[in-house]
Amino acid sequence: MANSRHGGSEGSNQNGSGALSRRRFLQQSSATLAALALSPSALLADPTLSTVVVSTPSGKLRGESSKGIRIFRGVPFAQPPVGSLRFRPTAPLKPWKDIRDATTFAPAAMQPYEPFLPQSEDCLYLNIWAPPGRGPFPVFVWIHGGGFTGGHSFASLFDGTNFALENIVLVSVAYRLGVFGFMDLGPLLGPSYAGSGNNALHDLVASLQWVHDNIGAFGGDPDRVTVGGESAGAKATAALMALPQSRNLFQSAISQSGGGERVLSLDQAAKVASDYGNLWRTAHPSPNPGFEDLRTASPVSLIATEARLISTSDRHFRFRSETGDSFLPQRPVDLISAASSTGKRLLIGTNRDESALFLGPHPTSDPTSRDLGNLDLPHFNEVFAKYKTVYPDMPEDQLRVRAVTAEEYWVPSIRLADAHSRTGGSTWMYRLDYTKPTGRQMGEAFHSIDLSLVWQQLDQIEVADPTAAPLSKQIHQAWVAFIRGNAPAARGLPQWPQYDPTTRSTMILAPDSHVEEKPFDAELQLWDEFR
């Protein structure tokens, strides 16, 4: 199947001009999602719209009810990380006395490239879609992607109505990004700031703690919580599976296009801080030694330096979680191998052609360091040189897509599934093979195409495809079944077997969904030689 999947691709050519860089993808997708963000004004014409007040342990919230679905926007789950709390671990929320308005989304976390997206350093808020009735309902906590430097929780793509209609409480959460959430300021501001590269993970743990303590007020069951995300959100989900601080805050996890290997060592984190500091001081000369001005500088100026670091780097993902301290002593996959997630349930998978979105449908140049997530280019090329022995009939451009997809998404997800399964976790694996029939990415199951299907937002696919709607319904229903505590299942799908490292049974999600054992096995063996 992988050897003959491609036709042409509208808007691309043989010199790779159709490629969409990761940075450009993050910029474009954030801008699109911002433009499509669901706002309260979109509901004003709804004759069923009414006000609803809920009393939580944190305080009373005024939200809205539309067609029986209760919606609460911009709900704080921690103290604003501003002033003396900038670059510090998440501070617990202080309860409020009066009724707090929760009818408007809070701004997104600070991020580059998005002049029209409402942003603020004060960004630690979540949104809730709750079914009618008292429950208790299962809860799905969604973590958005965006390469650790972009994205937001209130995109229309992540409208929780379709999950609430299935009697699931949907919670979308925000977290600090880039320099605010994923950079270790210890090398610049001193030892008391060591570990600040994991501030975003502290944020996510705090959001889960808020859900555990408060979700019962919305009919949610704090003992049936599923955490999930896509891309960077899936990688954050793996970290939450690894952390003891979140162990008792959720029972199940969904990883879409993630893995648990991508983190920075302390040395790598220090290098990011050094590079950032050099760029900062060049743009902001000071007669004083040190970087004390970072504490009080405008957030816009901090983001401007972040953007310069990203644009001048030969690697992507300069901002990400760090390992080697007491909070995250090892990579998530290593902690999971040591039984940190024993007893939890995991639904995990990738899209067949993830990296086609970034490399372009017909890339002709070798993948560069900017396209790799885990290896440097020389080590990657050692693996890539053997791909022709596995796929002798595959065109060169397809080999590049396959290899980079494996390096960043597929192999890390396999290793996470293996680690979780071997230590007593229940696991279900999928691979999405659905492709757009027309357009630039025709014939590709590219990065992020799964989101429209899972969330039943098919207008985001931008093509009229009669096979999309029934497949989207099946995928959505399989996710719903999993969130409810069952094996993923839907009418029309074959029985979905549990995954184990021996058989690697994988559900292939496509118009002709089926189960395969050991898919791409010879390819995986190439990567196992370079573990």
Which tokens sit at 525?
Answer: 């063996």
Q: How far apart are CA 260 and CA 237, in angstroms?
A: 9
**Does the annotation mark 447 as catalytic?**
yes
- Taking CA atoms, 183 is separated from 140, 402, 424, in Å, by 28, 31, 34
Q: How far apart are CA 184 and CA 87, in angstroms?
A: 9
Checking DSSP bridges between strand 69-76 and strand 59-66, what pairing results, if any?
antiparallel
**Does the annotation mark 354 as catalytic?**
yes
By the 8 A CB rule, do 136 and 17 touch? Answer: no
Choose, from 196, 231, 255, 340, the residue flagged as catalytic.
231
- Taking CA atoms, 415 is separated from 238, 353, 411, in Å, by 12, 18, 6
The residues that bridge with 425 in the sheet, in sequence order, are none
Picking from 118, 81, 75, 57, the residue whose alpha carbon sits closest to that of residue 207 is 75
Q: How far apart are CA 448 and CA 30, in angstroms?
A: 12
DSSP 128-157: EEE-SS---EEEEEEE--STTT---TT-GG
The residues that bridge with 350 in the sheet, in sequence order, are 431
Choose, from 447, 476, 505, 523, the residue flagged as catalytic.
447
Which tokens sit at 204?
Answer: 């996510």
Q: How far apart are CA 388 and CA 327, in angstroms?
A: 42
Choose, from 64, 166, 354, 408, the residue flagged as catalytic.
354
By the 8 A CB rule, do 403 and 321 touch? Answer: no
The residues that bridge with 62 in the sheet, in sequence order, are 53, 101
- Taking CA atoms, 294 is separated from 135, 188, 413, in Å, by 47, 9, 37
Which tokens sit at 355?
Answer: 């990296």
Checking DSSP bridges between strand 506-509 and strand 69-76, what pairing results, if any?
unpaired
Is the bond preceding 136 in cis, omega lying within 30 degrees of 0? Answer: yes
Q: Which residues carry out catalysis?
A: 231, 354, 447
